Amino acid sequence: MTLGAEPLQIMAEIAAGVAPLLGAGISGGIVLTLLANRVLRSVLFGVSATDVMTLAGAVLTLAAVSAVATFLPARRAAKIDPLEAIRSE
């Protein structure tokens, strides 16, 4: 982060740092789901683990939770006055 950055730039920088982690988590989760399909078949009733709608729902839920969990601290970080933060250290 740099001095003079707009709050939106700070929030975008934080979100850009979270995006690769989210992508890796979603990709890994889908791969593990496909590998564990046989075990999941005995636990899931009436739904297939490889059902596109089920996977899409899980991905969208994870993305929404991640967006909220990223937005709240990013907004707080964007409101911090850099000079005040430097003085307090």
pTM above 0.85, yes or no: no
Residue ranges of the domains in the chain? 8-80
What tokens appear for 3 in the block?
């001095």
Q: What is 1-52 written as a DSSP string?
A: --TT--HHHHHHHHHHHHHHHHHHHHHHHHHHHHHTHHHHHHH-SS--TT-H
Q: What is the pLDDT of residues 48-88, one digit of tens each?
A: 777 888 889 989 999 999 999 999 999 888 888 877 778 87
